Homo-oligomer: A and B are copies of this chain.
Amino acid sequence: MKIKNLPENTLHRLVIYLNVLESMERKKIESISSEDLARRCGVNPAQLRKDLSYVGNLGTKGVGYSVKSLKFSLKKFLGRTEEWNLVLGGLSPLGEFLLNNRDIQKEGFYFMAAFDTREENIGKVINGVSIYNLDQISYVTKAIRVDMAIITSEDKPEEYLEAFLSQKIKAILNLTSTPLFTEDQDIKIENFSFPMALTKLSFFLKNSR
């Protein structure tokens, strides 16, 4: 199987494993058995081993995994040893929060520019990031390499999507309440909103009475 066709659920679990390993490294844990790691990741050991076989780090029999080495293998596999340039679409409260937040930057994702359509926001600088008018996007993408975009405009998410796709931006995180899709297999859109996540919980609670 081509890595590109990795099932979405496997990818999701690999991202979880990476985060669990990073949290273990912060706690100075150096090695871990696959049973223990699986338990901390909410999967069974067979599933964990199968997923990690894609990554090619199989641990050492009887010793288990080196936390540092497995973390590095996963980071590399997931493209997280590289740095990625982001742009933001829409200076909503969430957009402004993300620009001011340093956690994303610490992980190697850098905001290079932000776009809005409201005149009063154009030209502002937030945490070092300039706000441009969305209709200036082609000038910005000529000057800066842009890898990914985050859409946070509740007013017109589709307009931002269209503008980003017109600039050949191929990876989009949509955080608005309107899910966005494209049929183009060369483009990846991730949809997330807080109410979406809470709705999975409300479904669970409603059915567990």
Contacting residue for A19 out of B154, B178, B182, B200, CB 8 A: B178
A126 interface hit (Cβ, 8 Å): no
A125 interface hit (Cβ, 8 Å): no
Complex contacts, A77 vs chain B, CB 8 Å: 203
Contact, CB under 8 Å: B200 / A192: no
CA distance A188 to B201 in the complex (A): 7
CA distance A147 to B203 in the complex (A): 12
Contact, CB under 8 Å: B201 / A148: yes
A207 interface hit (Cβ, 8 Å): yes
CA distance A33 to B134 in the complex (A): 33
Contacting residue for A200 out of B11, B206, B207, CB 8 A: B11
Contact, CB under 8 Å: A199 / B78: yes
CA distance A192 to B79 in the complex (A): 19
CA distance A194 to B207 in the complex (A): 29
Complex contacts, A205 vs chain B, CB 8 Å: 79, 84, 147-148, 170-171, 188
Contact, CB under 8 Å: A200 / B188: yes
Contact, CB under 8 Å: B198 / A109: yes
Contact, CB under 8 Å: A199 / B40: no
CA distance A104 to B75 in the complex (A): 33
Of A61-69, A95-103, A113-121, the one contacting chain B is: A95-103
CA distance A109 to B197 in the complex (A): 11
Complex contacts, A78 vs chain B, CB 8 Å: 199, 202-203, 206
Contact, CB under 8 Å: A23 / B178: yes
A1-20 at interface with B (beta carbon < 8 Å):
3-4, 6, 9, 11-12, 14-16, 18-20
5 pairs, CB–CB < 8 Å, chain A vs chain B: A16-B179, A41-B179, A84-B201, A93-B101, A190-B201
A59-94 at interface with B (beta carbon < 8 Å):
77-80, 82, 84, 86, 93-94
| A46 nearest CB across to chain B (Å) | 16
